[in-house]
Amino acid sequence: MMEAVKSFEAIVVGSGLAGGVTALELADHGLRVALITKRSLEDGASPRAQGGIAAALSSLDSIDTHVQDTLIAGAGLCDLEATHFILERGEMAIHWLTRRGVRFTRENGALHLTREGGHSQRRVAHVADATGAAIQNTLHPQLRQHPRIHLFEQHMLVDLITSERLALPGPRRCVGLYALEETSGEVHAFTAPHT
């Protein structure tokens, strides 16, 4: 059975670290966001990540060295532009998480960095040995309490709604999605200019 359409300014699917961070940033920039996730906030790979987050943070390190290490470990599968784009933003991501309240392990006032397989430098910032859980435990209350984030747990994305399907003019684009509410068995339509 289909219900009334739920309209938002942005829809984010998945409440792992990628989706959670995106939802918080969009909501902080004033957008009314639907965060749709197929189980609970605690689901997914993010709370299970242990070792930490790699970023060229030490004075002995550089973005170029981090990129080189990543290309070698990637054995030809890395997209160079994407690798640069992501690794250049590593330090910014650690600072963003710190501002959000994640208490990375420190030593003598500085971030404690470990060295993991494939890295030629110590560059892994961590929260003891449960980094993902520490990050998610910090961000989840912020997601739940944000006045512009509407959380839909137990909602499974089943299809995207395209402009073509609705015969909308202009370039072909995604204008929303259908999500199956696991508890009721109902399918809900969500629309937004950004999904």
Ligand X SMILES: Cc1cc2nc3c(=O)[nH]c(=O)nc-3n(C[C@H](O)[C@H](O)[C@H](O)COP(=O)(O)OP(=O)(O)OC[C@H]3O[C@@H](n4cnc5c(N)ncnc54)[C@H](O)[C@@H]3O)c2cc1C
Alpha-helical segments (H) within 43-177:
63-74, 80-88, 90-100, 131-145
End-to-end alpha-carbon separation of the chain, Å?
23
Residues 183 and 156 sit within 8 Å (Cβ to Cβ)? no
Min. distance of Cβ 148 from ligand X in angstroms? 19
Q: Does 189 bind ligand X (CB under 6 A)?
A: no
Ranges within 90-149 binding ligand X (CB under 6 A): 132
- Binding to ligand X (CB under 6 A) within 12-31 occurs at 13-19
CB-nearer residue toward ligand X: 74 or 168: 74
Contact call for residue 157 and ligand X (CB under 6 A): yes
| 50 close to 129: Cβ distance less than 8 angstroms | yes
DSSP assignment letter at 4? P
Q: Specify the residue, 175 or 177, whose C-beta has the smaller distance to ligand X.
A: 177
CA 5/CA 190 separation, integer angstroms = 6
Nearer to ligand X, 13 or 151 (CB): 13
Token pair in block for residue 31: 């957008």
Residue nearest to ligand X (CB): 16
Q: Which is nearer to ligand X, 48 or 172 (CB)?
A: 48
Asked if 51 touches ligand X (CB under 6 A), the answer is yes
Contacts of 165 (CB under 8 A, 6+ apart): none
Binding site for ligand X (CB under 6 A): 13-19, 36-39, 43-46, 48-53, 132, 156-157
